[in-house]
Structure 1
Amino acid sequence: MTGPAEGDDVRRQPEAQLATMTMAVPGGEPEKPARAKMTKRTKLLILNAISVVGGIGIWWTLALTGFQFPTPPEVIETGVKLWKSGLLQEDLAASLTRVLIGFLAGSALAIPVGFVMGWYTVARGLFEPWIQFFRTIPPLALLPLVLVLLGIGEVPKVFVIFLAAFLVCVISTYQGVVSVDRTLINAARVLGAKDGTIFVRVVVPASTPFILVGMRTGLGSSWATLVAAELLAAQAGLGYRMQQAQLYYDLATIFVGIVCIGILGLVMDRLLLLAESKLTGWQERI
């Protein structure tokens, strides 16, 4: 009598395991993970708000206790004046256009080059020494040479931004390709997948997080390069406006430029984070 009963228990074990797994997939109990995720997101938003308010409070306190800082109301008043005069819109449009063109062009070229370097040994051997060579040279160090060769128009400023974004993103993409788990590639080959299919279905998705991290880092480098480029050769832009304000010791205008760059950079970074969450939803996050 014991044997059949034990056999029935053994046969029922897969059913019990299946029932347990069912509880973990949609249709089981999805409310708890969703609620936990929402709670974590709400907590982060609250902490972000506290951080912003605290930072402004520290800034205001320093301005009132002897530091040569303009107060937040003074910066807002100066920003409103620049906006009404049309200078702020002109500077925002000029700087944002340069960053977008240089950053998007640099990232668009860096991604295929990084894929080729990571996938083909010949390409890696040919390209990597030059990329590593130029990566150690700050793009701004090349600005005097670029100005001599390309003049003082928009091309040299966009080029150094392009270079800054490209060098960061290409290394990140390359690292993403070479970091793909070889077990996944070998498993795909065992299942009969060709190299093209493996590249599209395995390598590209696995490299996407690295690419987006490289793009976020390249975005910061693009803004840093832009401001320095506008300090040297520009007739409009946030960096140019800050340089002009420095000559007249106009700290409020300098702060307006800093705040605008920070806000624009933050918004663009959040857009990349949103794209990352959509493209890498399969990735586990803390």
Structure 2
Amino acid sequence: MSINVVEPDPSTAVGKRKTPFKNEAEVKKKRLNMALNVTTIFLGIATWWVVSMFVKNLPTPVETVQAAIKYAQKGIMGEDIIASLRRVFTGFLLGTALAIPVGFLMGWYSWARGLLEPWVQFFRTVPPLAIIPLAIVLMGIGETPKIFVIFLAAFLSCVISTFQGVVQVDKTLINAARVLGAKDSTIFAKVVVPASTPFILVGMRIGLGSAWATVVAAELIAAQQGLGYRMQQSQIYYDIPTIFVGIVIIGTFGLIMDRMVLWIENKLTGWQERR
């Protein structure tokens, strides 16, 4: 008598089982979100158009596009965008690079928390824009004070989030690792860092937004290029459409960069439960 051996289907094997219904639901959810995003953009433009018909001096979307074309034809739009991007990237990267180790230090060592947290909280309540006069006096009117103000905004936003991520790591995981004989360095690398990564990336998103929010004011410091500088010049000449062009460009680049960080977050924290 022969016995037929049925080979297990790899797609339904334990540990390899795919969840087609879940995947289909995620795809549908992404498509719905994309459709809602596109819809809300058109609704926003339509609302802007309607409001501009009733509000004096508010440019319409068409007038803003025309101003953007003139701005680009002058050959200075690209230079302004590059100047602002350079300042934002430099300040944001420096602020994040310092905020992450400082946040880990404050969260992991109680003595570091006692020494650093009061100062972090103190400067966090001081708007970065209030530092501009002091930055001009101490650093002059070159690129350094502009980047420093953006750096400070990004640093203060990211360091608190990193610190909270470290202190909120589940103590059970840390104790379990210690019971299994893991050293502090191993616990830090294998438990604390992965568990706090979502907090770090959220802090980076907030810091990126703070950097863009600060760049306009930072370019008050004797700038000759930059989107903020161009918007301030447009204010002097009452060129409202160009001001709107600057707002749209800053918002667009800020949104794109935020989505890039969000994409990185999804790749690094795929294990995290999401709604």
TM-score by length of 2: 0.93
> Structure 2 CA distance, aligned partners of 1:47 and 1:28?
32
- Paired residues of 1:172 and 1:213 also in contact (CA < 8 A): yes
How far did residue 29 of structure 1 move? 4.7
How far did residue 27 of structure 1 move? 4.6
Q: What is residue 142 of structure 2 aligned with on the other side?
A: 153
Q: What is residue 106 of structure 1 aligned with on the other side?
A: 95
- Paired residues of 1:24 and 1:30 also in contact (CA < 8 A): no
> Structure 2 CA distance, aligned partners of 1:44 and 1:164?
31
How far did residue 144 of structure 1 move? 0.1
* RMSD value, Cα: 1.5
Deviation digits for residues 103-144 of structure 1 (CA, Å, limit 9, x no counterpart): 000001100111011111111111111111111111111110
| Aligned counterpart in structure 2 of residue 82 of structure 1, from 49, 63, 71 | 71
- Amino acid paired to 2:102: V
- Paired residues of 1:60 and 1:72 also in contact (CA < 8 A): yes
- Paired residues of 2:136 and 2:221 also in contact (CA < 8 A): no
Give 1:59-98 correspondences, 5 Å limit.
Answer: 59-98=48-87
1:261 aligns with 2:250: yes
- Amino acid paired to 2:238: Y
Q: What is residue 10 of structure 1 aligned with on the other side?
A: none
Identity, % of aligned pairs?
63
- Amino acid paired to 2:98: L
| Aligned counterpart in structure 2 of residue 118 of structure 1, from 107, 110, 126 | 107
| Aligned counterpart in structure 1 of residue 35 of structure 2, from 15, 31, 46 | 46
Bigger proportion of residues as helix: 1
Gaps of 5+ in 1: 1-18
- Amino acid paired to 1:247: I
How far did residue 30 of structure 1 move? 2.4
| Aligned counterpart in structure 2 of residue 184 of structure 1, from 169, 173, 176 | 173
Runs ≥4 residues deviating over 3 A:
22-29
Q: How many residues align?
A: 266
- Paired residues of 1:234 and 1:240 also in contact (CA < 8 A): yes
Comparing 22-31 with 80-89, greater Cα deviation is found at: 22-31
Q: What is residue 158 of structure 2 aligned with on the other side?
A: 169
Q: Using a 3 Å threshold, how does the CA distance of structure 1 residues 199 and 72 change in structure 2: closer, same or farther?
A: same
Give 1:2-41 correspondences, 5 Å limit.
Answer: 27-41=16-30
- Paired residues of 2:141 and 2:221 also in contact (CA < 8 A): no
> Structure 1 CA distance, aligned partners of 2:133 and 2:200?
30
Which structure has the greater CA radius of gyration?
A: 1
Deviation digits for residues 208-264 of structure 1 (CA, Å, limit 9, x no counterpart): 010011111111111111111213431111111011111111111000000000001
Q: Using a 3 Å threshold, how does the CA distance of structure 1 residues 269 and 25 change in structure 2: closer, same or farther?
A: farther
> Structure 1 CA distance, aligned partners of 2:150 and 2:61?
31
Deviation digits for residues 258-286 of structure 1 (CA, Å, limit 9, x no counterpart): 00000010000000000000010000000
* SS of match in other structure, 1:180: coil
Q: What is residue 9 of structure 1 aligned with on the other side?
A: none
Q: What is residue 211 of structure 1 aligned with on the other side?
A: 200
1:144 aligns with 2:140: no
> Structure 2 CA distance, aligned partners of 1:194 and 1:24?
36
> Structure 2 CA distance, aligned partners of 1:279 and 1:138?
32
TM-score by length of 1: 0.90
